[in-house]
Structure 1
Amino acid sequence: MASATVRRGDTGPNVESSVSALTWSAVLGGAFAAAAVSLLLAMLGTGIGLSSVSAWTGQSVSGTTFTVGAAIWLIVIQWLSSSMGGYITGRLRTKWADASTDEVFFRDTAHGFLSWAVSTVVVVALVASGAGSAVTGVARTAGSAVSTVVGSATQGAAQGAAQQGAQGGFNPSSYYVDTLFRTGKPGENDQDAKVEAGRILLMGARNGSISDSDKAYLGQLVAARTGMSQEDATKRVNEVMGQIQAAEEKARAAAEQARKVAAQTSFFLFFSMLVGAFVASVAAALGGRQRDEI
């Protein structure tokens, strides 16, 4: 088959050629090849990563090792897929007969970069829905973690109020209304007492601590419902508050760890994609040079 060659013809030195220097067919071919290689290597990396971790304690690689391995594999994916796509683009593009050596080099690298850009968009489009759902789930989990652990730490003592707080419907005015109608003798309704205690605990979680008056009142509620002494009831209140604070700190630590992992992942993706863009451009230049030598 005869090779395709673009010539200016007798158009004169100051007349632009009507033929575009961009060969989209070669760019798209290289882009889809790079996208396919990226997906293949990503699946291979997923298999390797899952085989290196385990639900059993002591049978998995450390978090640092896993992170470093994932970063290296991201670079490998970009390196191999971009070089494949760029080289194919350079070999398949049209031969520019009248262009200077510098112009040919620029066009080849531009073709390789465009091939990498298109393949990146294709891969992102394929995984965007799943990745978006994962990111949204992480954000929602981090946002409601404190309210959730507060409801768990109370062990059902204030289930209704805790569920209300976890759903974002906790109204601080309910707490202040309760303080208006407090009496020295707690009421007889167990459910109302549990809901009121739950609101006090939620308000304490929001403020970071419970006031002495609220602790004393909670002690009265617990003593009236359980038959415990005031001293033992107050001790139980302090224990529950300690559990809530510990759970809150654990949730905040998990959210902070998730933030750090997300930041590191973003940096790793940036550097790997930067490597991919460079490799694709160089590979296209090499492929184009071999194309011109044929």
Structure 2
Amino acid sequence: MSPYSVDSPANVFEGASTQSGVSWGAIIAGAAGAASLSLVLLLLGTGLGMSSVSPWAREGASATAIGIATILWLSFTQIAASGLGGYLAGRLRTKWAGVHTDEVYFRDTAHGFLAWAVATLVTAALLSSAVGAILGAGAQAGSAVAGGAATAAVGASAGAASSASQSGTAAGSGPLSYFVDSLFRQDAGTPVSNPSDAGTSTVSASPSQDRTASNAEVTRIFVNSVATGALPPEDTKYVAQVVSQRTGITQQDAEKRVSDVYAKAEAALRDTQAKAKQAADAARKSSAYTALWLVVSMLIGAFIASFAATYGGRRRDL
């Protein structure tokens, strides 16, 4: 038997000791091909997705259709890119002489998996901003649900009221501005009392400044009442006095108007709170589902890359 024969035990031992079982050049080449194709397909999917979204209501694809299409496209991207990378890694690797068939199969599988792993890391580095946005959306949605949207709404109202009182202008942008304005509506032909006639304002204060100050004060009262859950009787009476003075209606009618408007304002803020919670919960679930489907598609890609590498390795050894 020739000492250089493949079947020689000495030759097998020598080859096993001097020849590496990992072809990093083939792995890097396969990873580069997979990462490039993955990036191209992701950009293409983004373009197709943006083209299917319409800024007009009841036009374009629905959110459900876009979500399903995104999942399918991510799966297709992983299959195509991982298959290409695995095949290149298996086809370009070094031919191992005198290695058992099972060992060759294992090495080819490992080459495909390593090519997929390197490509995944490269793609994640290139798309770190997108991955961070997905994870950040879920974290922010969860904190929004835990913190409660009512606090944010009340804080915005308080900020608007404080800004109005400090700037000397009417608070026209806060959530409670509409309801505060509705308190001081007057019927046609109703005489309006001048605040200065009752001695409730200083000589230097103009009627517009009085109205601005009273609007801001009533807004602060409503904000505090919404936060505590009820409008105290003394606040109801005081606000009714201001309304009666501004509109000319009786104290009894003013108290009824205050109660009715406060109930409407509280219901509107509670509805805003419920919608904010629903939106935050929907964002949290969407982020969770997206992350889960990304994991599933990546596992599919790892399997496809390993399988394609074994196929490419067999073609290489023919």
TM range (shorter): 0.7 to 0.9
Describe how 1:143-292 pairs up with structure 2 within 5 A: 143=144, 145-151=149-155, 156-157=160-161, 190=214, 191=216, 194-201=219-226, 203-204=227-228, 210-211=229-230, 214-227=231-244, 229-292=254-317
Residue of structure 2 in register with 1:112 after alignment: 112
> What letter matches 1:274 in structure 2?
L
Change (3 A) 1:126 1:218: farther
Describe how 1:101-140 pairs up with structure 2 within 5 A: 101-133=101-133, 135-136=135-136, 139-140=139-140
Flag the structure with larger Rg.
Answer: 2
The whole-number CA distance in structure 1 between the counterparts of 2:7 and 2:261 is: 89
1:158 Cα deviation (Å)? 6.4
> Is the contact made by 1:149 and 1:251 (CA closer than 8 Å) also made in structure 2?
no
> Is the contact made by 2:91 and 2:313 (CA closer than 8 Å) also made in structure 1?
yes
Gaps of 5+ in 2: 1-5, 166-199, 202-212, 248-253
Deviations 1:67-97 (A, max 9, x none): 1111111110001000010011111111111
> Is the contact made by 2:222 and 2:262 (CA closer than 8 Å) also made in structure 1?
no
- Two-structure CA RMSD over aligned residues (Å): 3.2
The whole-number CA distance in structure 1 between the counterparts of 2:67 and 2:272 is: 27
Deviations 1:202-259 (A, max 9, x none): x34xxxxx13xx3434423432433360110111111110011000000011011112
1:279 Cα deviation (Å)? 0.5
> What letter matches 1:268 in structure 2?
W
Q: What secondary structure sits across from 1:55 in the alignment? A: coil
1:194 Cα deviation (Å)? 4.0
Deviations 1:30-52 (A, max 9, x none): 11110110010001111111111
> What letter matches 1:255 in structure 2?
A
Using the TM superposition, name which of 225-234 and 150-159 deviates more: 150-159
Using the TM superposition, name which of 76-85 and 47-56 deviates more: 47-56
Deviations 1:161-188 (A, max 9, x none): 9xxxxxxxxxxxxxxxxxxxxxxxxx98
Residue of structure 2 in register with 1:96 after alignment: 96
> Is the contact made by 2:95 and 2:317 (CA closer than 8 Å) also made in structure 1?
yes
1:129 Cα deviation (Å)? 3.0
Change (3 A) 1:242 1:136: same
1:262 Cα deviation (Å)? 1.3
Aligned length: 255
The whole-number CA distance in structure 1 between the counterparts of 2:287 and 2:133 is: 15
Residue of structure 2 in register with 1:57 after alignment: 57
Q: What secondary structure sits across from 1:39 in the alignment? A: helix
Change (3 A) 1:14 1:31: closer
The whole-number CA distance in structure 1 between the counterparts of 2:39 and 2:12 is: 48
Change (3 A) 1:154 1:245: farther
The whole-number CA distance in structure 1 between the counterparts of 2:140 and 2:163 is: 21
1:287 Cα deviation (Å)? 0.7
> Is the contact made by 1:153 and 1:244 (CA closer than 8 Å) also made in structure 2?
no
The whole-number CA distance in structure 2 between the counterparts of 1:272 and 1:10 is: 45
Residue of structure 2 in register with 1:167 after alignment: none
The whole-number CA distance in structure 1 between the counterparts of 2:8 and 2:272 is: 74
Deviations 1:7-27 (A, max 9, x none): 998367599614320111111
> Percent of counterpart pairs with the same letter?
36
The whole-number CA distance in structure 2 between the counterparts of 1:247 and 1:265 is: 27
1:153 Cα deviation (Å)? 6.8
What TM-score do the two structures reach when normalised by structure 1? 0.76
Residue of structure 2 in register with 1:46 after alignment: 46
Gaps of 5+ in 1: 1-5, 162-186, 205-209
Q: What secondary structure sits across from 1:95 in the alignment? A: coil
Change (3 A) 1:279 1:17: same
What TM-score do the two structures reach when normalised by structure 2? 0.71
> Is the contact made by 1:31 and 1:115 (CA closer than 8 Å) also made in structure 2?
yes
